[in-house]
Copies of this chain bind each other. A is one copy, B any other.
Amino acid sequence: MKTLFTRFPENPILTPQSISASSADLKIECLLNPGAFRYNGRTGLLLRVAERPVQREGMISFPIYDMQTGIKVIEIATNDPELNLDDPRVICYKGEDFLTTISYLLPVFSEDRIHFETDPAYGPLLGQDKYSAYGIEDCRVSQINDLYILTYTSVSPQGVAVGMKTTHDWITFEESGLIFPPHNKDCAVFEEKINDRYFAFHRPSSPEIGGNYMWLAQSPDLKHWGNHQCIARTREGHFDSARLGAGAAPIRTDKGWLAIYHGATEKNRYCLGAMLLDLNDPSILLARSEEPLMEPQEAYEMKGFFGEVIFNNGHLVNGDELTIYYGAADEVICGAKASIREILSTLDT
């Protein structure tokens, strides 16, 4: 099929080497899955930075946040009989699961939307409570008037849930705690109210009946959510056969809310698709991509920390031009552009 998205020739635009680790003991393993926003005339990305301790021979070490002491590194002999390393992303020790890396969020800024740099005025956002002991990940940034709404995955021994904070100035933040309980991620708040209610996509997961489906919730105040509705399920044999989840906030178009989302197969191949939802009642799905709009194909998408992954949770709209920022192979950050009109033309309404 015709390529809808044109990748930046500069890709990848950010790699683990682009920035410094938070301490000498730690190494940046991955830069990935940024939220995108505009602030004070500049384009901002809120990167997910995943760090891992520098490993020593015969030992395995991993970091967790400790509410008293900050980041704490736990080190275990690799021959410890209570250690289980069967899953490369997870360390199981004494029956408890830990992550190999810990993530935090880092804002970077650009004048040209391509070259991004940190700004000492705007520091990193770290996990800071018992619900983020294993880090915070994959933040969506929605903007309503001058309020920025940050919704992110908060990981801890209590589970994987959705946390929220808001800011006007990227310096002081109001914490809202967990707005969705475990197991949940991929939350993006709509950038305007509909019938006097806020709306958000989210992605609960079920250990039994059910699956990894896209849901919609409503709120009077952004902090309390209800009237949960399932808007899209996985589809056997499609690019979204095992799970799907929202990208950034949906885009208002004449035809409906256009949502760019990710779908993954049982083999963890992540592609992007689109769906169109009713403008007045976004629980009504009007159309959905049969084929992916964008799939892993470039070398930086095919190989990395976790290959064959394109994951998008930040974009900017300028008239008909959609610029997406995405994590490639769970390791580097890339950009691409598409025409919103052309994306809509692929959706059979």
On A, residues with C-beta under 8 Å from B are 90, 95, 97, 99, 130-131, 134, 155-161, 176-184, 202, 204-211, 213, 215, 217-221, 223-230, 233, 236
Within 8 Å CB of A217, what residues of B?
Answer: 181
Within 8 Å CB of A219, what residues of B?
Answer: 224
Within 8 Å CB of A97, what residues of B?
Answer: 208-209
Within 8 Å CB of A134, what residues of B?
Answer: 209
Min CB distance A93 to B, Å, is 13
Measured in the bound complex, the distance between the Cα atoms of B218 and A208 in whole Å is 26
* Known pairs A220-B220, A220-B221; A160 contacts B228 (CB<8 A): no
Measured in the bound complex, the distance between the Cα atoms of B171 and A130 in whole Å is 44
Measured in the bound complex, the distance between the Cα atoms of B228 and A181 in whole Å is 6
Within 8 Å CB of A178, what residues of B?
Answer: 226-229
Within 8 Å CB of A224, what residues of B?
Answer: 218-221, 224-227
Measured in the bound complex, the distance between the Cα atoms of B63 and A108 in whole Å is 55
Contact of A157 among B210, B223, B226 (CB under 8 A): B210
* Known pairs A220-B224, A224-B224, A236-B95; A210 contacts B158 (CB<8 A): yes
Min CB distance A189 to B, Å, is 13
- A210 and B159 contacting across the interface, CB-CB below 8 Å: yes
Within 8 Å CB of A183, what residues of B?
Answer: 183, 204-208, 210
- A207 and B205 contacting across the interface, CB-CB below 8 Å: yes
Within 8 Å CB of A226, what residues of B?
Answer: 176-179, 223-225
Contact of A159 among B182, B204, B220 (CB under 8 A): B204
Measured in the bound complex, the distance between the Cα atoms of B181 and A179 in whole Å is 12
Measured in the bound complex, the distance between the Cα atoms of B153 and A206 in whole Å is 14
Within 8 Å CB of A202, what residues of B?
Answer: 181
Within 8 Å CB of A177, what residues of B?
Answer: 226-229
Contact of A204 among B131, B179, B181 (CB under 8 A): B181
